[in-house]
Structures are given as C-alpha cells and as structure tokens.
Amino acid sequence: MKKKTFLSTLFALSIVVAASLSGCSTGQEANISNTNKQTTTATPNEQGTLVIARQADAKKLDPHFLTDFESQNVIFQKVYETLVQQDKDMNIQPLLATEWKQLNDTTWEFKLQQGIHFHDGTPFNAQAVQRTFQRVLDPQVGAPQASDFEMIKEVKVIDEYTFQFILKYPFSPLFSILASNEASILSPKAIEQYGKDLAKHPVGTGPFVFQSWTPGQEVVLLRNDNYWGKKAKVGKVVFKVVPEDATRIAMVETGEAHIAEPLQVTELERVKSSPSMNLYRSDLLEVAYIGFNLKKKPLDDVRVRQAISYAIDKESLIKGVYNDVGKLVHTPMSSKVLGFTPDIKGYPYDLNKAKTLLDEAGYANGFKTTILTIDLKDRINVAEVIQSQLKGIGIDVEIVTMESGAYFDAVMAGKQDMFLGGWGNVTGDGDYNQFNLFHSSSQGFSNRWFYSNPEVDKLIEQGRRETDIEKRKQIYAMAQEIEIKDAVLIPYRNPEILAAVSKNVKGFWINPVSMHMLHDVSIE
C-alpha cells in the first residue's frame, strides 16, 4: 500500500473518540421495515440472536445526517462500510478500497474492491463512491456532515474500480475522516429511491442488513449471507431501548440481553461480582466539559469565565461523582488525539484568584446564572457539585435539566448560559476538535460557545493544510494556549466506556469512538 511517510505516521497514532450525548426517539413513528427484495439473509436464529440493551434509541439511520452515537452505532461498519477502516490500534487499513496513492499535494487515487454489491443488489464501484460524496456535498441535500468534506473539489471516476479525490487544498486529516461514519458509502439506487427517507431505509455493503426499526423500542439487523468478506457469527442483532440503568443490567443477569451499555459507575461492583456477567472497560476519546455561552452577560467577559475556571475543583468532580472512573484533563483534546499538548495545565483550583478576577470584572458580590444539563443522573450530579462550588465565590447557579432533544435545540440556538456537555473526536486527528469546536464558521452546531477569534481561525486553517506532523502539533499547541486563555470552556474529564457483557459472549469490543464492533461476536 502506497502512502506518504507523514500519513503513515499519522495513522499509526491513536484516534479520538467523541462521545456526544444523544437522544431517545419519540416513539411516535410507525415500525420501519426493510423493503429490499433482492437481499438474502441468514435465518435469524441460525447462529444466535445478539441482544444489546442500550439507554437511548437512534434518531436517524442516514450517515450524512447523524449527530449522535446511538444512531451511528446501529449502522457504522454493520450496515454501512467505509473506504478505509481503523483497526484495534486505530491504524488505517483497507476496507472497500484496496490501495491508494498520492499523485500530488491535492490528488489521491484509490483502487476499489471488485465484485461487491449493496444490499439492494446495486453494484459497488467508483460511480457509487462518486454519487455518495456528491450527495453529502449537495447544498440542496443540506447534510450536517457536508462541512467535513468541504475540502473535496471533485470525485473523479477513472474507471469502474478506480477514482480520485481532487482536493481544494492539501488536507492532512483526510484518511481519518474517510474512516469515520460520515464517509460511509451509500447505494446509489437507494439514494434515488428514498431521498431523505434513507434515514429509515439504510442500504450499504456491510455484514448486516437492516430489517426493521420500531422507534422507542428496537432496531433489528440480520446477518448478510451475501457479504463479500468474512461473514458475521451471529444471525441477528437486536438493539433494545432500555432507559433504566438497573433494568439493562438485570436483563443481562437473566439472559434477556447479552450486553448492557452504558453502565453507571455505581454498578461496577455489581457487575464485577456477578457469576453471569463480565465488566467491559476501555478508554474513550471524549472530553467532558463545562461550557460557556459567550453571547450571554456576564459570561462574555473573559475575567468572569476565568474566575469560574479557577473556582471549579475538577478532581473532586471525578472522585465524588465518578468514583475515580476517568482521567482529569485540562485541554479539549484527550491524550490520544494527534495535537494533544501535555504541557497545557489549565486553571488550578484557586478561590482567591477567582474572587480577585470577579472583583476586577465588577462582580465582587457575584451574580445569578443557570447551568443547563441533559437529564442524566451523572450530569445532574456534576451540576450540583458545580452549583455548590460556585457559591464559594458568590455565584448563584440554577440547574436546568432537559431531555436530550430539547437540550441540543437549546444549546445550538444559544439559549443557555453555562452548560454541561461532552465532545468526542471520531477521527483521532486534532482538526476534528479544533475546526468543529473553535472555528468561527462552526458557531451554533458544534461551536456551542459562539466563540470567534481570528488568530485561532488562522491557526486551525493552517493546521489542516500542514503536512508535517511535528509542525501540526506546534500549531495546535498554539491554538489551545489561546483557547485556554480565553476560557471558552472548562474541560474536566476523559471518560471511560463501561458495559456489562454476558460471559457467553465472545469477540465483543468497543472502539475508542464508542462504536460497538460486532463482526467477530459469537454467543457460546
């Protein structure tokens, strides 16, 4: 496989995983079933049915419109596949593409697997790749993921199994994005047949075929017996929506489910001591944060944001709320993301410094504000600790809780003051953090603090074009120094992912982006 040296090094680095909060379905839609007649699948129970009890439902099943992990987890590398993939060490490996080479700074040529068909019988070829990227970049489609591919000038078909990405400018993180969910390759026939309804009828090339979706209850996938590669080891996968933490675990204990995820830290000992369950535990690439809305007074004053940053005892949050599960962080990048800067120390806990800054900003007697959080127990507990800590500098905090859909609508509309959230890097490259969280053009959708700094914008744009890894690290270090100084947010925790897994399940793992990898799962 031909690659430039700098990309070989880049891809060998670990990849970040973003764990954004996501929401439950309303349950108001009718059951959605697969209508593809040409697909042959295994008898559902031929090699067992894997049942996954999870907290929330999918929202959509269209890779170009997904912003939540519950949706991605149903289709990523299961129904849909990408040109390249990340292995367990998060290195880039071939998948639908067999090889690639860089022709010049802005042109990459790919060779594709031959003889593959989509689940609806449509041939997979260079034209299908071209149609997929034309769709995501079409302004009339209005895909939220379009910005991830704005560097693509043209997808040029050379022959049936060869195509080229022609870029507008050199773009170092290209392959990290091509391995992520938003780069899933779609059936051209399904694109034309379903349009925006593709969100209810996913059609890919993957080892599982979509069977049905009953919103608020379950999504069902069947094994694809016509799969071009190694076939899955289970005949059926059922993603059951079970919001109650204790109920999910009980389902694994009784054999009603095989996997319960997420697992709350308060349930660790229950799972560890169980004769029927194993504890699955691994690092995520997510960073949990306390965010500020820079459009709201008095949070528009950097001294106020700095004061709050000094007044938060982050170590007590991790110990008191999460029982020391997860790692303390000071920057918006976890340690495995390309561009992480260990030298940045953030704001130490210093109440005197906090009070001095508030006094300088004209708020010696404090002020009233709100903190918005999704209605999850751990997030509410974090909000309560913050509420208590900020009383120490005279800030009166009201906690506002919302279900996930309302929460995301509120923060994207800028209705919040302070808010709790999490951001995961799904590519492992610092550009995914920097461009989405801090570039002026991302305000609202992912730049939820409405932050704009021309100097930071320039560094971000420079970083995504720079091909030298060490220079890119230096660029991102400079950007993070400014962002921390501007106190845009307070990063406090790099979470771990926890799951309860039945002892008769083998081959299950979760990648650092929190995606369930099911291809090698078997039930004994």
Q: Output the 3-class SS for 425-437.
A: CCCCEHHHHHHHH
Comparison of pLDDT for 34 and 448, the residue scoring more: 448
Domain limits, the chain? 31-232, 286-494
With H, G, I as helix, E, B as strand and everything else as coil, classify residue 45.
coil
Q: What is the CATH number of domain 286-494?
A: 3.10.105.10
Model confidence band, residue 22 (pLDDT cutoffs 50, 70, 90): very low
Q: Is the pLDDT at 243 greater than 80, yes or no?
A: yes
Q: Is the pLDDT at 8 greater than 90, yes or no?
A: no
Q: Is the pLDDT at 373 greater than 90, yes or no?
A: yes
**pLDDT tens track for 428-437:** 899 999 999 9
Q: How far is CA 119 from the centre of its chain?
A: 26
Mean pLDDT value across the chain: 89
**pLDDT tens track for 303-357:** 999 999 999 999 999 999 998 999 999 999 988 888 998 888 899 999 999 999 9
User: What pLDDT is stored for residue 66 in this prediction?
Assistant: 86
- Amino acid (one-letter) located at 442: S
With H, G, I as helix, E, B as strand and everything else as coil, classify residue 63.
helix
Q: Is the pLDDT at 299 greater than 50, yes or no?
A: yes
Average pLDDT (19-40) is 42
Model confidence band, residue 425 (pLDDT cutoffs 50, 70, 90): confident
Domain 31-232 identical in fold to domain 286-494: no
> Quick check: 456 and 441 in contact, CB under 8 A?
no
- Amino acid (one-letter) located at 129: V
Exposure class string for 147-179: b at 16+ Cβ within 10 A, else e = bbbebbeebebeeebebbbbbeeebbbbbbbbb
Lookup result for tokens 């209705």: 415
User: What pLDDT is stored for residue 88 in this prediction?
Assistant: 82
Give the whole-angstrom CA distance, residue 406 versus residue 391. Answer: 27
Q: Does domain 31-232 have CATH number 3.55.10.10?
A: no
What are the tokens at 238? Answer: 């059922």
Strand duo 505-506 + 259-261: pairing: unpaired
Element (H, E) at 397: strand 396-402
Closest CA to 486 of 291, 305, 293: 305
Q: Is the pLDDT at 16 greater than 50, yes or no?
A: no
Closest CA to 289 of 224, 333, 355, 234: 333
Model confidence band, residue 4 (pLDDT cutoffs 50, 70, 90): very low
Give the whole-angstrom CA distance, residue 89 versus residue 416. Answer: 38
**pLDDT tens track for 126-136:** 999 999 999 99
User: What pLDDT is stored for residue 404 in this prediction?
Assistant: 80
User: What pLDDT is stored for residue 144 in this prediction?
Assistant: 85
**pLDDT tens track for 507-516:** 999 988 889 9
Please give the sequence-ordered ranges of beta strands (E in DSSP) within 55-192, or none if there are none: 84-86, 92-94, 97-104, 107-112, 152-159, 162-167
Average pLDDT (435-448) is 91
Model confidence band, residue 36 (pLDDT cutoffs 50, 70, 90): low
Comparison of pLDDT for 424 and 353, the residue scoring more: 353
Lookup result for tokens 């100097």: 455
Strand duo 49-54 + 259-261: pairing: parallel
Average pLDDT (452-456) is 98
Q: Is the pLDDT at 69 greater than 70, yes or no?
A: yes
Average pLDDT (101-117) is 97
Average pLDDT (408-417) is 91
Give the global pTM: 0.81
Average pLDDT (1-24) is 33
